[in-house]
Amino acid sequence: MTHSDVHGTPANDPDSRSELDHLFSVTYEELRRLASSVRRSDPRASITPTALVNEAWLKLAGSPDVAHTSPMHFKRIAARAMRQVLIEAARRRQAGKRGADELHVTFDDTVNAAATDADGLLALDDALTRLAAQAPRQAQLVESRFFGGLSVPETAALLDISESTVLREWRLARAWLARELAADA
Amino acid sequence: MSWARLQAAFDAIIDAPEHQRDALVQDASHGDADFERELRELLAADAVKLPLLDRSNAEWASALLADAPRPADERPEFGPYRLLRLLGEGGMGVVYLGERVDVQRMVAVKLLRDAWLSPARRARFTTEQRALAQLDHPNIARLFDAGTLANGTPWFVMEYVEGLPLHRYCEANQCTVTQRLQLFRAVCSAVQHAHDQAIIHRDLKPSNILVTTDGTVKLLDFGIAKQLGQEHRDSERTHTGLRMMTPAYAAPEQVRGERVGVFTDVYALGVVMYELLAERLPLDLSSRTPGQADAMILDIEPEPVSRAARAQGAGSAAALRRSEWNDLDVLCKMAMHKDPARRYRSVDALLRDVDHFRAGEPLDAHPDALSYRVSRFVRRRWREAALVAALVLLSVGAATSYTVRLGRARDAAVREAERRTRLQRFMLALFTGGDEAGPADSLRVVTLVDRGVQEARLLDGDPAGQADLYATLGSVYQKLGRFERADAMMQAALLAHANAGNRDSLTRAALLLNLGDLRIDQAAYLGADSALTQADALVVPRVSARDANAVLLQSRILGTVGRRQEEQGLYDSATVTLQQAVARYPASDPDPLVRASLLGELANVHFYAGRYAESDSLNRLVLAVQVARSGERHPAVAEVYINLGATEFERGRFVEAERWYRKAIDIDSTFYGGAHFRTAAHLAMLGRALVSQERYDEATSVLQRALGIQQATFGSAHPRVASVLNELGNVALKHKAFDSADAYFTRMATVYREANGDAHFTVAVALSNRATVFNEQQQYVRAEGIYRDVVRRFTEAQGAEHMNTGIARIKLGRSLIRQKRWAAGAAESEAGYTIVARQAEPGVSFLQAARKDIAEALLALGRATESATWTKAWESHAAPK
């Protein structure tokens, strides 16, 4: 997947398009850099996409590349970049045939021990790309929340829809993806 | 296939009871088999678990991005705390309910998620922790403990508050308007407390305001609080831009991503109050997209709270009268003004109006409609009249003119009082040490003032407020003796005022007045004149126009001119000027304290001129006003005691002086604490009174205590330290411990030189005292050399005709006469005598000393008749002991 097949790009004129590409790659680099620097400094640390995206914004907000970008717009780009970073990690994981059964334990027992499912993630990514063909905004909504870690209010702000619409659309998109994944399996 | 159609059908059916589903699906499909199949599949898929999508991405992403498999984290250790369950998650932190094992107390434990990400992240987390640590208020959840887990995750433990959100509490308890306002008051006082510590909450909303079962309000969640003056520019933008605050309570400046400040919390409090009264939000954002919501927050004026309450059928609607609702409309509107500059300037100001409302007094915020003020005041007065049941009815005409005048006077008084309260609050925050004691006092003062400076810089959008704050800070620096910084602040205030594009000449005049006052402290008298002349020029046209505020200001300018003359030793001119100032002071007397301070200054002039009786009687007047105004235990009362004591001291009544000084110190210690620099200054004076009673040991211990405080507060090179050194030098001199006296005075000179510059007259004072040590040791040549230098210094610093120059020449004369250089000595003494006699009472000690010396010299020169005249003069002024 390259960034060009991500949907929901707001502008089509070449100038802003290339600006967007530039912004995307800057963000992508930053996210990767952040993720690996975290790994280096503390292999046991937990990494959330939400935190990474926020951190990338903190890092980049002052830079000329991003200076003219609103935080909202940045988040949209960052969600796409994050998706890319994660999918690549999943591909690496798949290729390395490393175990997919390691545990990450948070302090909260109720959300404990989620397995890393690289295959599942790649399948989801494919399904999401298919969804984008049918319902671009819904795909973007999933991308923002799932990969970008945006909250419901943030997603609502990003897409300029109400929070209740976010929830409704999320539910249907989720059902759609669940069905696709079930069919894949 | 239309996604919209699918969505509509899905929404309509998904939550319907299972048995209706089939019929609903068929109904929605209109025989479209493809649509029906798709819809059924999707409805069924809704129930399918999809762990990847349903769980937080943190769980899998983290593992995915990490190269090596990681062992499970061990259960975190929290010292004496055990985690019980998750209470909630915020942007950065997770909050658990915990228990302190040893005392079995419930606590809330907050952990920073993903602490490793960056130092900035930790810094933001600790911001909240620090904010809480600074806050000590019954209505703010307290910080108990903080630390770091083995893996570096920072945590802190705070008070666990079990209660209902403010609005739910009111609902559940069917609170009356009075009860609601009482709760609101508590919220305000908590927020004001935070503001006093330069902390802006930024996320005030009912869910952050809990009320416990016993009705105690607790403010929670300083998670996005902002430390004023701390620049987290980037995270700032993230916070505002990413809408971490709750839109319903977000102020327009937050929506626009602009700077937030005290006014942002004022806005949110306005919304909270509106909601408390109307039982609904001022703007209904629920069905809006965020874009629409933003636009509404920016542009839509909420309907008056009274109308909202009526429409909502709120309990308050019928409980209040029309006129009361008018006030509440104004109150809410003023708090939620779209323009931050037009809101209440502080939570305190809001609080004051809430109190005015509760007391049936006119609001400060009310539009200046005369009818309003009159009606409000008349009503209040009538109520009092009814209560006292003693007032005779006034004729309508008289009553109206009375209330109008009273209203105006009150306006002025309120404005002045507001300024004063603000300054006082600020000074209080500066000078009252909290619980933490220790030598950090100087640090605290400087830090706080510097923080104030940064706060002022943040007020770019509000140049008027900025000018105000700069001026206040300037005064604070001035009082701290940091004249250069004070100067910079005053200049900044003038600049900010100019930037405000404000043509309000009176405000500019007031700023110039402050600057003039500072210039006097800097002994830059020409600069003072220039500022004061400019100020006066601005005021004059307004005085001619009978502007009451201008008249007030003019008399204050005159008062300061008087102080300048006094500082230069021009006591006669100063007396005239200050008397004029008092005379011009408006008869309506909007603030008795201003008039009292003019009288106090006049008392000082009398004092310096040696007119102790006049000084004493004026000071007693000032004391009466001050006590009536502030009660007996106020530091301002202590200042008057000090002046009374000083007068007694100069009259040689040391026991009385000691009594006044001790009364003052008693107040100081209660008000400021025993280790405060004000206490120290007064201890130094007490030391002097003890020295004069020859109680040297007591004196030395009191003075050493004062010196210790001063050095801890100001560092060793501060004028205040020098003045204590001066006293210690005097004690040593009396003890005839000449070496240590010389050492004290030498150090005093060094300190003054460092603090005020070599040319400053204080250096001359120190040197002059040093010379006295040599005189006492009969090293007259050495003394003479120093005195000559001192005379030159006084002449240059304060003028040839200054009293200090005169006194120094009398002393120089004495050192010459002791060397039997009779002619030169007599000439010097006479020259000094002429200067001093022009300005001081004939009986002051210097003149007496001069008379004696001159008589002695003339006698030695064989001019017996002249000598006898001097001796006679001396006898006629000798105190009848």
For residue B382, is pLDDT > 50?
Answer: no
Are the Cβ atoms of A116 and B72 closer than 8 angstroms?
no
Q: How confident is the model at residue A38 (pLDDT cuts 50, 70, 90)?
A: low
For residue B155, is pLDDT > 60?
Answer: yes
Query: Which ipTM did the prediction report?
Result: 0.76
For residue B660, is pLDDT > 80?
Answer: yes
For residue A150, how far is the Cα from the chain centroid?
A: 9
Q: What is the pLDDT of residue B187?
A: 94
Q: Which residue of A has its CA nearest to B115?
A: A45
Model pTM?
Answer: 0.40
For residue B869, is pLDDT > 90?
Answer: yes
Q: How confident is the model at residue B242 (pLDDT cuts 50, 70, 90)?
A: very low
Taking the CA of residue A98 and the nearest CA in chain B, the distance in Å comes to: 9
Q: What is the pLDDT of residue B458?
A: 59
Lowest-confidence pick of B251-255, B411-415, B666-670: B411-415
For residue B409, is pLDDT > 60?
Answer: no
- Rounded to whole angstroms, how far apart are CA atoms B565 and B574? 5
Tokens 């006097």 map to which residue? B520
Q: How confident is the model at residue B535 (pLDDT cuts 50, 70, 90)?
A: very high
Taking the CA of residue B14 and the nearest CA in chain A, the distance in Å comes to: 10
Q: Would you say the C-alpha torsion B400, B401, B404, B406 has a positive or negative sign? A: negative
Lowest-confidence pick of A1-5, A97-101, A112-116, B837-841: A1-5
Taking the CA of residue B271 and the nearest CA in chain A, the distance in Å comes to: 20
A71: nearest CB among B66, B242, B288: B242
Of B736, B735, A57, B732, the closest CA to residue B748 belongs to: B732
SS (H, E, C) B273-300: HHHHHHCCCCCCCCCCCHHHHHHHHHHC
The mean pLDDT value for B195-216 works out to 83
For residue B348, is pLDDT > 80?
Answer: yes
Q: How confident is the model at residue A20 (pLDDT cuts 50, 70, 90)?
A: low
Q: What is the pLDDT of residue B635?
A: 75
For residue A60, is pLDDT > 80?
Answer: no
Taking the CA of residue A177 and the nearest CA in chain B, the distance in Å comes to: 9
Q: What residues of A are in contact with residue B249 (Cβ under 8 Å)?
A: none
Size of interface A-B (CB pairs under 8 A): 208
Q: What residues of A are in contact with residue B86 (Cβ under 8 Å)?
A: 108, 110
The mean pLDDT value for A82-88 works out to 79
B241: nearest CB among A70, A115, A147: A70
Asked if residue A77 lies in contact with residue A40, where contact means CB atoms within 8 angstroms, the answer is no
Q: Work out the angle at residue B589's Cα, subtended by the Cα atoms of residues B578 and B397, and round it to the nearest 5 degrees.
A: 145
Q: What is the pLDDT of residue B733?
A: 87
In terms of Cβ atoms closer than 10 Å to its own Cβ (0-12, 13-18, 19+), residue B185 is middle
Q: How confident is the model at residue A66 (pLDDT cuts 50, 70, 90)?
A: low
Based on C-alpha coordinates, what's the Rg of chain A? Answer: 17
Asked if residue B410 lies in contact with residue B381, where contact means CB atoms within 8 angstroms, the answer is no
Q: What is the mean pLDDT of chain B?
A: 77
Which residues of B does the annotation mark as catalytic? 203
Taking the CA of residue A35 and the nearest CA in chain B, the distance in Å comes to: 7
Are the Cβ atoms of A104 and B113 closer than 8 angstroms?
no
Structure tokens at A173: 């998109």
- Rounded to whole angstroms, how far apart are CA atoms B287 and B296? 12
Are the Cβ atoms of A154 and B243 closer than 8 angstroms?
yes
Q: What residues of B are in contact with residue A154 (Cβ under 8 Å)?
A: 242-243
For residue B749, how far is the Cα from the chain centroid?
A: 33
Q: Which residue of A has its CA nearest to B240?
A: A71
**Three-state secondary structure call for residue B93:** strand
For residue A14, is pLDDT > 50?
Answer: no
Q: How confident is the model at residue B188 (pLDDT cuts 50, 70, 90)?
A: very high
Are the Cβ atoms of B52 and A121 closer than 8 angstroms?
yes
Are the Cβ atoms of A58 and B235 closer than 8 angstroms?
yes
Are the Cβ atoms of B53 and A178 closer than 8 angstroms?
yes
CB atoms under 10 Å from CB of B860, counted, come to 15
Residues in chain A: 185
Taking the CA of residue A153 and the nearest CA in chain B, the distance in Å comes to: 8
Q: How confident is the model at residue B790 (pLDDT cuts 50, 70, 90)?
A: very high
Q: Which residue of B has its CA nearest to A121?
A: B52
User: CA separation (Å) from A108 to B89, B125, B149, B540?
Assistant: 11, 19, 15, 72
Q: Checking phi first, is residue B610 left (phi over 0); if not, alpha (psi -120 to 50) or beta?
A: left
Q: What residues of B are in contact with residue A177 (Cβ under 8 Å)?
A: 50, 53
pLDDT cut 70: percent of chain B above it = 77
Are the Cβ atoms of A58 and B152 closer than 8 angstroms?
no
Asked if residue A61 lies in contact with residue B234, where contact means CB atoms within 8 angstroms, the answer is yes
B117: nearest CB among A38, A103, A169: A38
Are the Cβ atoms of A48 and B50 closer than 8 angstroms?
no
Are the Cβ atoms of A55 and B72 closer than 8 angstroms?
no
For residue B53, is pLDDT > 80?
Answer: no
CB contact set of B704 (below 8 Å; sequence gap of 6+): B728
Q: What residues of A are in contact with residue B59 (Cβ under 8 Å)?
A: 104, 106, 111, 114
The mean pLDDT value for B172-191 works out to 92
Are the Cβ atoms of A169 and B243 closer than 8 angstroms?
no
Taking only the tens place, the pLDDT of each residue in B71-111 is 333 345 567 788 877 776 555 667 788 888 777 788 888 88
- Rounded to whole angstroms, how far apart are CA atoms B848 and B873? 8
Lowest-confidence pick of A59-73, B365-379, B716-730: B365-379
Taking only the tens place, the pLDDT of each residue in B806-823 is 999 999 999 999 999 999
How large is the angle between the packed helices B396-431 and B441-458, nearest 10 degrees? 120
Q: What is the pLDDT of residue B590?
A: 64
Q: Checking phi first, is residue B229 left (phi over 0); if not, alpha (psi -120 to 50) or beta?
A: left
In terms of Cβ atoms closer than 10 Å to its own Cβ (0-12, 13-18, 19+), residue B810 is buried
Q: What residues of B are in contact with residue A157 (Cβ under 8 Å)?
A: 243, 290-291
